[in-house]
Amino acid sequence: MIVSVISKIKTRILLFFLLYLLLSFNNFHICFFSRKYNDPYCITAGSKPGFQISSEQNESFTGDRVSGDHTKILRSGDTKGYDDLLEQEDKPKNIGLVSDQEDKPKNKAGLYSLIDLKAEEEYSKYIKPKSEGERYALRAAVKYLYLQRSWLAPGDENINKTLSCEVVPNAVFSCSGFRTHMYSLQPILHSRVLKHPCRVYNETQAKLFYVPYYGGYDVLRWHYRNVSDDVKDRLGIEALKWLESKESWRRNAGKDHVFVLGKITWDFRRDKVPWGSKFLELQEMQNPTKLLIERQPWQVNDIAIPHPTYFHPQTDDDIISWQIKIASKPRRNLVSFAGGARPGNPDNIRSTLIEQCVSSSSNQCWFLNCTNRSCMNPKNVLDLFQDSEFCLQPPGDSATRRSVFDSLISGCIPVVFTPYTAYYQYAWHLPEDHRRYSVYISEQDVKEKRVHVVEIVKAKTLSEKEEMRSYIVHQLLPGLVYGDSNAKIKKFRDAFDITFDSLLEKIKQSK
């Protein structure tokens, strides 16, 4: 009898120990299967490794109607909120604004005070305001950026995922070749949401609602057609009318809904120029979260996420092989620029950069002229970036550039001329200390010809370049690309994982 009792106790201890091991490792998940759900419900799904860009807090800045079958619902895992994590002794070092050297805010009021302090310190480092209005605007832009960083889902440094399939202009998926269209973000993320492990089919259980309204394509279809503003706005308004009829929308006034729009925010904020729609200016769109490739810096619910790139690994080995290749690639060019001049815009610095590039001595700068359609072939761009140590990234039609991400995944250090190109945009995917992955040169200094960009990057030491490239390739790269929904990636986390983990964190903090 005693032996039997001891045996049972040992068995129970062993079971508890095994359960503890399972819950201790982020690669394991505890899931329930039921006839009630088509997919398993994983109670630990929100706790797998997140993407952590840096453990340091260095100084920085330095045409159909939407139908009822289409709204896809996500449920978050049971993980603690940001405020709770701040009070844990073993919290991740780079949750958002707080470093090991700073006092830790104990509540939201403390967090917002810290955000205000950071904004006051940082807002004027890169652009000198000419008026009190500009001063206020810059301070607000930095404040909203820091607030978005506070939503970054915590996780382990160096843990990322990867990218897989491409999307061609007609939104058809193809996994052979380099044909990722620059506006393919919507179908890429949609395909991932459909297979998310925490997707549920009962809206009362959902924490986050994804709305598959392809607003970017809605804007593009009217680009070359002479139609009225009412026609341009019609589909978006119809989608919102349908959403407003749903209890899931009315319950939180759309605050737990997310739209993936896949273009720059200005395409949905039609003003004096008769281009685009007014979708993001509608009152009903102020509460939801909007995922875009370029955000409006003064709209906290505009979230910028990386442009889709040409990089398409399918497995862990693919991404590791790519990292090894890029890290060891000989760089024949000191600096390069792939783009075209903007002769119709006297404020644009591209012409000055091209002049400095082509006139540099010893062929230190290589210019790929995109006005003759050379850049339509992705191989031309990728080959140039992989051969270059630095890649010039001036603004084009808007502040951001897909080329920034093409250069990063090629191991080419981007040279940025305005913080609105990257630093004030991608709070979840790029680190606060931009000096770890880029070189900043004032756009105004270039415009007034006070600097020569080739000479500035030429002054960088070999150790500085190697340190920056190592950080880009081994830390940033996996988190800047999007994995296909069928890819077999386990060791890394990609841009989609970072985005949706942080969206869930944002929803939790807003409760």
Q: Which residue has the higher pLDDT, 69 or 497?
A: 497
pLDDT at residue 356 tops 60: yes
Q: Which residue has the higher pLDDT, 90 or 125?
A: 125
Of residues 419, 414, 417, the one with CA closest to residue 404: 414
Q: Residue 67 carries which side chain, given as an amino acid letter? A: S
CB hemisphere CA count around 13 (13 angstroms): 6
292, 262 contact by CB (below 8 A): yes
Here the tokens at position 5 are: 């009792």
Q: Which residue has the higher pLDDT, 151 or 6?
A: 151
Q: Which residue has the higher pLDDT, 145 or 112?
A: 145
Q: What is the pLDDT of residue 314?
A: 78
pLDDT at residue 9 tops 80: no
Euclidean distance between CA atoms 132 and 40, whole angstroms: 54
Give the model confidence (pLDDT) of 477-496 as tens digits: 999 988 877 777 788 888 99
423, 146 contact by CB (below 8 A): no
pLDDT at residue 51 tops 60: no
Euclidean distance between CA atoms 185 and 400, whole angstroms: 15
Q: What is the pLDDT of residue 499?
A: 93
pLDDT bucket at 81, cuts 50 / 70 / 90: very low
pTM here? 0.73
**Mean pLDDT of the 394-419 span:** 95
Euclidean distance between CA atoms 15 and 334, whole angstroms: 59
Give the model confidence (pLDDT) of 68-78 as tens digits: 333 333 333 33
The residue whose two tokens read 């630095």 is 390
Of residues 303, 245, 307, the one with CA closest to residue 507: 303
Euclidean distance between CA atoms 334 and 412, whole angstroms: 10
Instruction: Tell me the Ramachandran region of residue 450: left when phi exceeds 0, alpha when psi lies from -120 to 50, beta otherwise.
Output: alpha
The residue whose two tokens read 């210019």 is 367
Euclidean distance between CA atoms 139 and 215, whole angstroms: 30
pLDDT bucket at 147, cuts 50 / 70 / 90: confident
Here the tokens at position 437 are: 């992955």
| 3-class secondary structure per residue, 380-428 | HHHHHHHCEEEEEECCCCCCCCHHHHHHHHCCCEEEECCCCCCCCCCCC
**Mean pLDDT of the 83-103 span:** 29
Q: What is the pLDDT of residue 124?
A: 53
pLDDT at residue 435 tops 50: yes
Give the model confidence (pLDDT) of 219-263 as tens digits: 988 877 888 999 999 999 999 999 999 999 999 999 999 999 989
Q: What is the pLDDT of residue 13?
A: 55
**Mean pLDDT of the 186-196 span:** 90
Q: What is the pLDDT of residue 16?
A: 53
Give backbone dihedrals phi and psi of 292, rounded to 5 degrees, phi first: -140, 165
Strands 156-157 and 51-52, sheet pairing: parallel
Here the tokens at position 384 are: 């140039």
**Mean pLDDT of the 56-64 span:** 33
Give the highest mean pLDDT range of 261-275, 280-294, 357-371, 372-386: 280-294
Euclidean distance between CA atoms 464 and 205, whole angstroms: 50
pLDDT bucket at 415, cuts 50 / 70 / 90: very high
**Mean pLDDT of the 390-410 span:** 95
Strands 199-200 and 72-74, sheet pairing: antiparallel
Of residues 50, 73, 319, 369, the one with CA closest to residue 207: 73
Q: What is the pLDDT of residue 313?
A: 74
pLDDT at residue 155 tops 80: no
**Mean pLDDT of the 387-403 span:** 95
Euclidean distance between CA atoms 97 and 139, whole angstroms: 16
Lowest mean pLDDT among 78-82, 147-151, 203-207, 427-431: 78-82
Chain-centroid distance of CA 469 in Å reads: 20
Euclidean distance between CA atoms 489 and 483, whole angstroms: 8
Euclidean distance between CA atoms 245 and 101, whole angstroms: 49
Q: What is the pLDDT of residue 61?
A: 32
207, 256 contact by CB (below 8 A): yes
Cβ burial, residue 389 (10 Å; 0-12/13-18/19+): buried
Task: Report helix, strand or coil for 283.
Answer: helix
pLDDT at residue 279 tops 80: yes
Q: Where are the alpha helices (DSSP H) in 184-259?
A: 185-194, 215-220, 229-244, 247-252
Lowest mean pLDDT among 5-14, 91-100, 156-165, 290-299: 91-100
pLDDT bucket at 182, cuts 50 / 70 / 90: confident
CB burial string 275-299: b at 16+ within 10 A, e below: ebbbbbeeebbeebbbbbbbbbbeb
